[in-house]
């Protein structure tokens, strides 16, 4: 018996993956958050009144009219894996700093070795999520 993402091959009787269905579900799963944002943001589009008012100018999304359901497929194809990897790297950094703090008394200053270990974990926990979300540094 095959699962929902596979079918039985008539010639061999084996389960065969249905790749078009898997890719379609992957696209829908990753693009749904942005599609919901596009659909619900109709009232947040800039109007001549909000653009001319200097009080609201810093908060206006000037790129909202360029949002597209079709372009979202290309820009958000790997959205959920990037979010999961980013949050996992943050948790790894926090756990690493916690493990490196074992034996350190409360209020005691960390030595140079521990500070170096902290900086390695914090570098990893800050740079990996930023890179996955499109922030590039030189």
Residue 96 reports pLDDT greater than 90: yes
Which residues have a Cβ under 8 Å from the Cβ of 133 and sit 6 or more positions away?
82, 86
Provide the residue ranges of all domains of the chain, joining segments of one domain with +: 1-76, 78-138
CA 46-52-56 angle, to 5 degrees, is 65
pTM reported for the whole predicted model:
0.58
pLDDT tens for 54-91 read 887 787 777 777 788 888 888 788 778 888 888 999 99
Residue 104 reports pLDDT greater than 80: yes
């Amino acid at each position: 018996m095959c699962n929902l993402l596979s079918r039985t091959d008539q010639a061999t009787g084996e389960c065969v993956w249905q790749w078009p269905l898997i890719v379609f579900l992957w696209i829908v799963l990753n693009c749904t958050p942005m599609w919901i944002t596009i659909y619900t943001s109709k009232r947040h589009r800039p109007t001549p009144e909000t653009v001319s008012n200097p009080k609201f100018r810093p908060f206006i999304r000037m790129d909202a009219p360029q949002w597209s359901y079709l372009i979202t497929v290309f820009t958000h194809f790997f959205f959920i894996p990037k979010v999961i990897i980013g949050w996992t790297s943050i948790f790894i950094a926090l756990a690493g700093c916690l493990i490196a703090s074992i034996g350190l008394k409360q209020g005691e200053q960390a030595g140079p070795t521990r500070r170096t270990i902290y900086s390695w974990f914090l570098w990893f926990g800050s740079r990996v999520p930023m890179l996955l979300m499109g922030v590039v540094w030189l």
